[in-house]
Amino acid sequence: MISIKTKQEIELMRDVNRIIGLLFEHLRPLIQPGITTYELDREAELFIRSHNAKPGFKGYRGYPATICASVNNEVVHGIPGPRKLVEGDIISIDVGAIKHGFNADAARTFPVGKISEDARRLIDVTKRALDAGIDKARPGNRLYDISAAVQKVAESAGYGIVRDFVGHGIGRNLHEDPQIPNFGKQGTGPVLKEGMTFAIEPMINMGTWKVKILNNGWTVVTADGSLSAHFENTIAITNDGPYVLSVP
């Protein structure tokens, strides 16, 4: 069942999600050649705790870190470690936080120094796909209107949409109903209503949509080694349109 949040609950969710929006602004200048993904993880945890919140991913289903740091062909759930970023990399940072008993969840893909035009285009298309999906999150629309909008932007650019991992409802739990695929048939699925809160998150590959999981049991990579980008925002559906919560 898809839970409906009150206006007061949505504002509590806005408060914790704003922290993630601010965190991305804090991390952006640090994402340079030579920094390790562990250092970014440590910085993120300190930032979240300094805002009287706690990391949402650390310990969730046994996950060992505050952020997911997925570099180049890594799609999601990259575990931070000693890897140093190098010029031309792209890194997707997915992060959650908890405050007031509510969850925040958002992701961005960042360039590391100067990147290729192909990598830049992938990032731009993935961001546009997220925005297109969010725009369909309005009362009276259907759930898979969001999915179809994301799919259209990605596939029109010639990219593969990851099918094995999807967006989701969010609130007092990190993962709530419904699942929100990044592909689907327009005009189908549950009717959207004011007060629903979703984490919409296209994961888009430059090549095939197919992925595999590494032996660590977490890190998801593209099956063909192609680059992948990931953008995510937590949003609330309101009668005035989509309300993006995970921005500064």
Q: Which residues of 212-243 are buried (b: 16+ CB within 10 A; e: fewer)?
A: eeeeeebbbbbeeebbbbbbbbbbbbbeeebb
CA distance 63 to 115: 30
Residue 207 lies in a domain: yes
239, part of any domain: yes
Confidence class for position 56, pLDDT limits 50, 70, 90: very high
Give me the domain span that covers residue 105.
7-244
191 is a domain residue: yes
Planar angle of CA 37, 39, 44, nearest 5 degrees: 95
With a pLDDT cut of 70, the percent of the chain lying above it is: 100
39 is a domain residue: yes
Q: How many Å apart are CA 215 and CA 118, to the nearest integer?
A: 29
When divided into structural domains, the chain yields a total of: 1
In a domain, 23, yes or no: yes
Model pTM above 0.95:
yes
Query: Is residue 2 assigned to a domain?
Result: no
* pLDDT of the residue at 94: 99
* pLDDT tens digits, one per residue of 125-141: 999 999 999 999 999 99
Structure confidence by residue, pLDDT tens digits, 136-165: 999 999 999 999 999 999 999 999 999 999
- Whether 198 maps to a domain, the answer reads yes
Give the confidence band of 8 by pLDDT, cuts at 50, 70, 90: very high
Report the CATH number at residue 115. Answer: 3.90.230.10
